[in-house]
Structure 1
Amino acid sequence: MPARIYRPARNAMTSGTAKTRKWVLEHVVGTAREVDPLMGWTSSTDMQAQVRLSFPTKEAALEYAEEHGIDVIVQDPQARKPNIRQGGYGENFATHRKGVWTH
C-alpha cells in the first residue's frame, strides 16, 4: 500500500503560512470506513490510516520511506505568488488618499 509525501497547503482562512514548511508522510487509506450500527461512529480496520509523520525536508521523508520499505508517491507543492502591496497594510488607513476608498 503506497504512502503520500507532500507539503501541506496553507489554511484558506488565514494569510499565514504556519504548518506548511514541514513535509508529511501519510499512508493512503486501504479499506473503506464503516459505520457502527449502535453508536453511528465511523471506523476502519486499517491502522496505517492513522499514521501521519512529519519531516523537515523531502529528502528525510524519502530516506525514511526507503529504510522501512514503504512505496511512496511524492507531490511537490505549487509555487505561490507573493502578495506584496506598495504601501502595505497601513495603506488601508492612509489620510492622503485623493478619491473615495471602498472594498
Structure 2
Amino acid sequence: MSARIYQRPKNAMQSGKALVDQWILEFDPAEAKKPDPLMGWAGSGDTRQQVQLKFPSKDAAQAYAAKYGIPARVHPTPAKRLKIQAYADNFR
C-alpha cells in the first residue's frame, strides 16, 4: 500500500492558479484494471484508487503518511518555465 505525494498542477483550461497550493496524497493501484464483461469499461476491485487526500503543505502530507505507516514518495514540483514573447510574435 504505497502512495505518492505531489502538488496539484495548475488547470490548463483556465488562467487562474486556484488550489495550486494544495498537496495530494494518492495511493498506488494494487491491481491492474480489467474490462467489465457487460459494459466494457475498465475497472478494478481496488477502492484505494478512488481516495485523494488533500493537505495544505508537503510536510503535513508526509507526517500523515509516516503516522499511518504508508510508504510514500514525493514528486517534486517542476520548475516554471516562462515563454516571454511579444504579442506581435503570434503573427510572424
Per the normalisation by structure 1, the TM-score is 0.74
CA distance in 2, matches of 1:73, 1:40: 33
**Any stretches of 5+ residues in structure 1 without a counterpart?**
86-91, 93-100
Residues 37-46 or 63-72, more deviating: 37-46
AA at the equivalent of 1:43: G
For 2:41 and 2:16, locate their aligned partners in 1 and report how far apart those are by CA, in whole Å.
34
How far 1:84 sits from its partner (Å)?
8.0
Task: Map 1:26-45; keep pairs closer than 5 Å.
Answer: 26-45=26-45
| 50-59 vs 11-20, which moves further | 11-20
The C-alpha deviation readout for 1:48-82, integer Å capped at 9, x for no partner, is: 11110000000100110011110001011023246
Structure 2 match to 1:73: 73
After TM superposition, the structure 1 = structure 2 runs for residues 1-103 of structure 1, keeping only pairs within 5 Å, are: 1-81=1-81, 103=91
Larger Rg: 1
Distance across 1 between alignment mates of 2:29 and 2:37? 22
Q: Which runs of 4+ in 1 moved over 6 A?
A: none
Alignment root-mean-square deviation, CA: 2.2
* Matched AA of 1:25: L
Identity level (%):
43
Deviation at 1:5, TM superposition (A): 0.3
Cα distance between partner residues in 2 of 1:78 and 1:38: 41
